[in-house]
Amino acid sequence: MSEPEAKRPIPPEYRDAFNQAVAAFDNWLYGAPEPPISFEGKAHSIASICEGVMCFAGPAPDEIYNLVCQKAHDFRYGLEANTKYDCSGPKDDSYASVAECLLRLCAARTAWVKLKRERDF
């Protein structure tokens, strides 16, 4: 990523999609399919939204940062901690860092659901 790209402010449509992704992850019920995020008229995964936001270095809003930090804390002490994924929380409050953390949390959730389904069968 080039330096100017990293300093670019996050466009409102990306900000809104990321806010939806954080809320969707927060409300994602264990065992349920990953909730889709509407962006540019199409359904996207939480992971794809995170990947699209990871190039923005501006600070995420406190409520978004704090919620992802709480989810990372819950992860460390929850069922998903038994997966191969690690998420000790965002390194800082930038969109890039918060999105990277949410991406790892999403991967851990997906892996945990898959593992649970395999064990239940």
Domains of the chain by residue range: 3-120
Q: Residue 108 has what pLDDT?
A: 85
Spatial CA neighbour of 37 closest among 101, 96, 94, 106: 106
SS3 assignment, position 43:
strand
Confidence label for 81 from pLDDT (cuts 50, 70 and 90): low
Alpha-carbon torsion, ordered 87, 93, 96, 101, to 10 deg: 10
Confidence label for 80 from pLDDT (cuts 50, 70 and 90): low
Q: Residue 3 has what pLDDT?
A: 44
Query: What are the structure tokens assigned to 35, written together?
Result: 């909730």
Distance from C-alpha of 106 to C-alpha of 31, rounded to nearest angstrom: 13
Q: Residue 83 has what pLDDT?
A: 59
Radius of gyration for the alpha carbons in the chain, expressed in angstroms and rounded: 14
Amino acid identity of 29?
A: L
pTM of the model: 0.86
Distance from C-alpha of 76 to C-alpha of 10, rounded to nearest angstrom: 29
**Cβ atoms 17, 102 nearer than 8 A:** no
Report pLDDT digits (tens) over 16-60. 999 999 999 999 987 788 899 999 999 999 999 999 999 998 999
Alpha helices in 8-85 (DSSP H): 12-27, 46-53, 62-76
Share of the chain above pLDDT 90, in %: 60
